[in-house]
């Protein structure tokens, strides 16, 4: 396992993070603790959760695991998130000072700690003034309840707005962004990656395997009936849409070839590609079972060649074919400086 700094902060985290959304829901406590043990044994130090994961049970499981072995827990850089509803109370949702204060205290109780290393706003919210949310986060840092803060699922303008407000008031800056990012979903490269880079945010991709698509478990024209999320009737439309997309299968074909050349799994290569992206701090591995985690951890050891990266980049390239993301917005990225000017 290799390690990287958390955005522009001085804190170091493993380049593979452990996502715990399934803990307490699809994954029972015994299996969850076994996953945590294996992750730490493999050099992992970065655990991601949220107050809404399994209705708070994910945080509770992590808290009991840390309490059982404080020495191991000391190695963990812990992150949680808040924004989505936690009850029917109209104030138990959003990023107001009231909700964030209660949500943070509740997360601290469930985790059994008095400090969370990284606290992220789970999504943008239109009602609360940005100043109110960021002032709360700055106060929480000063109070010693959190070390850093970041955002999840923000657009480019939202990142720029929030970072600008923090700078203008002299408040602590954000350090991370947690977006969906993988070979099948590179839309954040339209402008979110640039916004994050300009404001010093390290990217923490979620869904790095695109819900299992990048593991090679799907076959064209074969719709699952049991055993995964796309077997559910409400998800069949999404499955069928991807099944009809020629670009998806071109990406999977290249991924399979590269995997064969490394004697690796397709999932490991998809993760290695993400790890090769300069903006990425740590890739969030969601593991429903111990076997899934064990299979994906070796991705940290894979080095893709320049040719392999370029081929994967080409076949999965996001589509910048509409104004303003065609030539207009991107033409000056590599502008030659003639005459030394």
Q: Where in the sequence numbering do the catalytic residues fall?
A: 53
**Element (DSSP H or E) covering residue 202:** strand 202-203
How many other C-beta atoms lie within 10 A of the C-beta of residue 30?
A: 9
Q: Which two tokens stand for residue 312?
A: 């994967």
Q: Which two tokens stand for residue 99?
A: 């909700």
Residues in the chain: 341
Instruction: Supply φ then ψ for residue 60, to 5 degrees.
Output: -65, -40
How many other C-beta atoms lie within 10 A of the C-beta of residue 185?
A: 18
**Element (DSSP H or E) covering residue 178:** strand 176-178
Distance CA 206, CA 58 (A): 17
Cβ atoms of 59 and 107 within 8 Å: the answer is yes
- Which residue(s) pair with 98 in the sheet? none
Distance CA 94, CA 125 (A): 6
**Element (DSSP H or E) covering residue 285:** strand 283-286
How many other C-beta atoms lie within 10 A of the C-beta of residue 163?
A: 21
């Amino acid at each position: 396992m290799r390690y990287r700094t958390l955005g522009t902060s001085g804190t170091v985290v493993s380049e593979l993070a452990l996502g715990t959304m399934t803990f307490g829901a699809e994954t029972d406590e015994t299996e969850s603790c076994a996953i945590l043990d294996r992750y730490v044994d493999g050099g992992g130090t970065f655990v991601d959760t949220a107050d809404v994961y399994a209705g708070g049970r994910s945080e509770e499981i992590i808290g009991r695991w840390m309490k059982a072995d404080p020495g191991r827990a000391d190695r963990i850089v812990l992150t949680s998130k808040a924004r989505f509803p936690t009850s029917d109370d109209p104030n138990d949702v959003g990023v107001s000072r009231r909700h964030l204060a209660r949500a943070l205290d509740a997360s601290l109780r469930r985790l059994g700690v008095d400090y969370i290393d990284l606290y992220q706003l789970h999504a943008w919210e239109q009602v609360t003034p940005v100043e109110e949310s960021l002032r709360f986060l700055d106060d929480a840092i000063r109070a010693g309840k959190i070390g850093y803060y970041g955002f999840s699922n923000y657009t480019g303008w939202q990142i720029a707005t929030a970072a600008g407000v923090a700078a203008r008031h002299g408040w602590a800056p954000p350090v991370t962004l947690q977006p969906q990012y993988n070979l099948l979903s590179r839309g954040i490269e339209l402008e979110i990656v640039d916004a994050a880079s300009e404001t010093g945010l390290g990217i923490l991709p979620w869904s790095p395997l695109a819900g299992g698509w990048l593991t090679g478990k799907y076959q064209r024209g074969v719709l699952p009936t049991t055993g995964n999320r796309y077997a559910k009737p409400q998800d069949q439309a999404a499955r069928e849409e991807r099944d009809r997309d020629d670009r998806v299968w071109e990406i999977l074909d290249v991924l399979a070839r590269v995997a064969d050349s490394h004697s690796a799994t397709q999932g490991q290569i998809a993760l290695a590609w993400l790890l090769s992206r300069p903006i990425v701090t740590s890739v969030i591995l969601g593991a429903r079972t111990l076997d899934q985690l064990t299979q994906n951890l070796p991705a940290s050891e894979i080095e893709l060649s320049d040719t392999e990266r370029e081929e994967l980049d080409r076949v999965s390239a996001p589509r910048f074919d509409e104004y303003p993301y065609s030539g207009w917005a991107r033409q000056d990225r590599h502008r030659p400086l003639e005459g030394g000017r």
